[in-house]
Amino acid sequence: MKRILKSSLIGVPVLLMLATILSRQGLPLLDLSPRTWLYISISAVCLVFFWNLVEREYAPDRRAVSIENARPRWLILCLGVIAFGFPLVVMIGTVAQPWWEPGDLLRDPLNVAFQRMDRTGSIAGCCGSEAGAVSLLGNLVTMAAAAIFGFAAIQRVLNIGKLDGGVLLCLLGFCFATVVTLDDLYRLHEEHQRKFVVFYATFLGAIVCLSFYWQSWFENSFLVATALFFVGSIAIDTVLEHHFGAHRVVIEDGMKLFGFCCLLVYALVSGLRFSKDDPHGTG
């Protein structure tokens, strides 16, 4: 089964790339250039190579077991509130408040300033403190996730004295969350959007490979939620950008905020697991 999955991971993007080249007009619902499919194919090859490396070198001696029963119920409730309740309240408040356009709170501040100047023809009131407030809040969330991943990696190295799969997972999480933060703050993806998408997919796939071995279903559920929200947000921003009309910004940035909050919770539960003295990090 694993061999079939690995072969499909590489074969499907390669076949789609060849089909796009031969069709010369692109594939329906997949308006991607052959170069983009080449990036995706390279990403798939890297993921399969990393998967094999994890199985050989970084798999734990025993599979992770769920430890949520050992945690107090209030902690599990707080994690759920952070992952889903907090972004839900923020998005409802953003849409329901009567003072500003929801898009002015959701987009990054520079885009908000440009659009306000285009609408009014003046710089007056273009750059209030509310501009991009939700976007900047998301940056704080991803910065917190990066800090937690980094601290967990350092703590685990000090506890076990070597680089194992748990340390590698935390380091990958730290890099992923840091790049997401810098990208969102400085709009690095504006000119190379699809390259960044492939980069995110590669890193997130590598984290999934490690997390499958080192984490239980409890932690992995937040990682899966993170991936689903990110995929939905990216799909709406690229492939489906003309399908949601005036609601596109709210849906896209709402899903992104949910993904950020789920990433933060995944960082928290990973830190709780890997900062223990257990050398396996799976108990």
Tell me the C-alpha distance between 117 and 120, whole Å. 5
Highest mean pLDDT among 39-53, 107-121, 264-278: 264-278
Co-location of 270 and 218 in the same domain = yes
Same domain, 54 and 79: no
Mean pLDDT, residues 72-76: 84
Is residue 196 in some structural domain? Answer: yes
Residue pair 53/45 in contact (Cβ under 8 Å)? The answer is no
Those residues whose C-beta lies under 8 Å from the C-beta of residue 62, and which sit 6 or more positions away, are 280, 282
Taking the C-alpha atoms of residue 179 and residue 200, their distance in angstroms, rounded to an integer, is: 9
Contact between residue 211 and residue 223 where contact means Cβ atoms under 8 Å apart? yes
Q: Are 46 and 78 within one domain?
A: no
Average pLDDT over residues 251-278: 89
The domain in which residue 95 lies consists of 71-274
User: What average pLDDT does this structure show over 99-105?
Assistant: 81
Decide if 65 is inside a domain.
no
Query: Which pTM was predicted?
Result: 0.82
pLDDT at 93 over 50: yes
Would you say residue 6 has pLDDT above 50?
Answer: no
Same domain, 133 and 204: yes
Average pLDDT score over the chain: 77
Tell me how many domains the chain contains: 2
Give me the mean pLDDT over the 196-224 stretch.
87
CA 282 to each of CA 28, 48, 275: distance values in angstroms, whole numbers, following the listed order: 44, 23, 11
- Single residue among 17, 36, 58 that ends a domain in this structure: 58
Where do we find the tokens 């809040």? 137
Residue 48 forms part of a structural domain = yes
